[in-house]
Amino acid sequence: MLALRTSAPAFSAAEAERIARDDYGIGVAASPLSGERDCNLRLQCADGRQFVLKIVDDELDPGAAARLVAVLTHLAEISPELPVSRLIPTQTGDALVKIRRDGAVYSAVLMSFLSGEHLHGTAQALQLRQIGATLALTTRALQGYFPASLQQPLAWDPRQLPQLIQYAGDLQPVQARAAVESVAQTLKHSLPTLRGFRSQAIHGDCHPRNLLFSPNGGGVCGVLDFGDMMHAPLIFEPAIAMAELLMEGLATLTSVGAILQTFAQSQRLEANEVGALFDLIAARHASTLLISAWRTRHDRSGAAALDSSAAGAWNSLAALLGEGRESLTAHWQAAACTVPVARGAGAVNLQRRHRLLGAGAELFYEKPLHIVRGEGVWLYDADGRAHLDVYNNVPHVGHGHPAVVAAIARQSAALATHTRYLHPGILDYAEELMQGLPPGLDACIFVNSGSEANDVAWRLAKMASGHEGALIMDHAYHGITDAVGALTPGSGQPAAPWVVALAPPTDGALTGPQLLQAEAGAKNAIGSLKQRGVAPAAWFIDSALTSSGIFDPARQWGSAIERTVRAAGGLVVADEVQFGLGRAGSHFWSFERRGLRPDIITLGKPVGNGYPMGIVIAGRDLIESFQRKFGFFSTFGGNAVAAAAGSAVLRVLREEKLQANALTTGEYLRARLAEVASRHEQLLETRGCGLLQGLTVGGADSNAARSNARRIVNRLAAEHRILIGTEGPGANVLKMRPPMSFGPQHADQLAAALDAVASA
Choices 18-26, 194-202, 409-417, 448-456 (CB under 6 A): range interacting with ligand PMP: 448-456
Least distance in angstroms from the C-beta of 477 to ligand PMP: 5
Q: Which of 215, 323, 377 is nearest to 722 (CA)?
A: 377
CA distances from 428 to 87, 171, 407, 435, 643 (A): 50, 65, 14, 11, 8
Helices (H), 168-299: 174-195, 236-247, 258-266, 271-275, 277-298
Between 575 and 599, CB nearer to ligand PMP: 575
Q: Is the dihedral of CA 564, 568, 574, 578 positive or negative?
A: negative
Binding pattern to ligand PMP, positions 405-444, x when CB under 6 A?
----------------------------------------
Least distance in angstroms from the C-beta of 691 to ligand PMP: 15
Q: Helix (H, G, I), strand (E, B), or coil: what is residue 106?
A: strand
543 binds ligand PMP per the rule CB under 6 A: no
Positions 678 through 697 that interact with ligand PMP (CB under 6 A): none
Least distance in angstroms from the C-beta of 537 to ligand PMP: 18
Distance between CA atoms of 554 and 176, rounded to whole angstroms?
A: 72
Among 106, 278, 477, 539, which residue sits at the site for ligand PMP (rule: CB under 6 A)?
477
Sheet of 386-389, strand order = 371-375, 378-381, 386-389, 722-723
Among 228, 575, 592, 727, which residue sits at the site for ligand PMP (rule: CB under 6 A)?
575
Distance between CA atoms of 228 and 241, rounded to whole angstroms?
A: 13
- Cβ burial 511-542 (10 Å sphere, 16+ → b, else e): eeebbeebbebbeebbeebeeeebbbbbbbbb
Distance between CA atoms of 255 and 245, rounded to whole angstroms?
A: 10
CB 79 within 8 A of CB 140: yes
Residues in the chain: 760
CA 96 to chain centre: 46
Among 577, 617, 653, 724, which residue sits at the site for ligand PMP (rule: CB under 6 A)?
577
Positions 500 through 529 that interact with ligand PMP (CB under 6 A): none
Give the list of residues 6+ apart from residue 335 with CB closer than 8 angstroms, or none: 257, 258, 260, 261, 264
Between 608 and 666, CB nearer to ligand PMP: 608
CB 337 within 8 A of CB 405: no
Least distance in angstroms from the C-beta of 375 to ligand PMP: 23
Choices 90-98, 473-481, 687-695, 708-716 (CB under 6 A): range interacting with ligand PMP: 473-481
- Cβ burial 561-574 (10 Å sphere, 16+ → b, else e): bbebbeebebbbbb
Give the list of residues 6+ apart from residue 506 with CB closer than 8 angstroms, or none: 514, 551, 553
605 binds ligand PMP per the rule CB under 6 A: yes
Among 83, 312, 604, 694, which residue sits at the site for ligand PMP (rule: CB under 6 A)?
604
Among 374, 479, 570, 610, which residue sits at the site for ligand PMP (rule: CB under 6 A)?
479
List 726's β-bridge partners, or say none. 734
Between 392 and 546, CB nearer to ligand PMP: 546
Choices 24-32, 295-303, 573-581, 719-727 (CB under 6 A): range interacting with ligand PMP: 573-581
Choices 286-294, 501-509, 572-580, 686-694 (CB under 6 A): range interacting with ligand PMP: 572-580
Choices 12-20, 243-251, 435-443, 449-457 (CB under 6 A): range interacting with ligand PMP: 449-457
Least distance in angstroms from the C-beta of 388 to ligand PMP: 21
Which single residue brings its beta carbon nearest to ligand PMP? 450
Among 228, 542, 552, 727, which residue sits at the site for ligand PMP (rule: CB under 6 A)?
542
Between 111 and 487, CB nearer to ligand PMP: 487
Least distance in angstroms from the C-beta of 409 to ligand PMP: 23
Among 40, 127, 200, 454, which residue sits at the site for ligand PMP (rule: CB under 6 A)?
454
Least distance in angstroms from the C-beta of 362 to ligand PMP: 12
Least distance in angstroms from the C-beta of 605 to ligand PMP: 6
Choices 80-88, 125-133, 172-180, 475-483 (CB under 6 A): range interacting with ligand PMP: 475-483
171 binds ligand PMP per the rule CB under 6 A: no
Between 465 and 481, CB nearer to ligand PMP: 481
Q: What is the DSSP string of 709-760?
A: HHHHHHHHHHHH-EE-EEESTTS-EEEE---TT--HHHHHHHHHHHHHHHH-
Helices (H), 656-691: 658-679
Least distance in angstroms from the C-beta of 604 to ligand PMP: 4
Q: Is the dihedral of CA 128, 134, 138, 141 positive or negative?
A: positive
227 binds ligand PMP per the rule CB under 6 A: no
List 106's β-bridge partners, or say none. 57, 99
Among 67, 373, 396, 478, which residue sits at the site for ligand PMP (rule: CB under 6 A)?
478
Cβ neighbourhood burial of 352 (10 Å; 0-12, 13-18, 19+): exposed
| Contacting positions for ligand PMP (CB under 6 A) | 449-451, 454, 477-480, 542, 546, 575, 577-578, 604-605
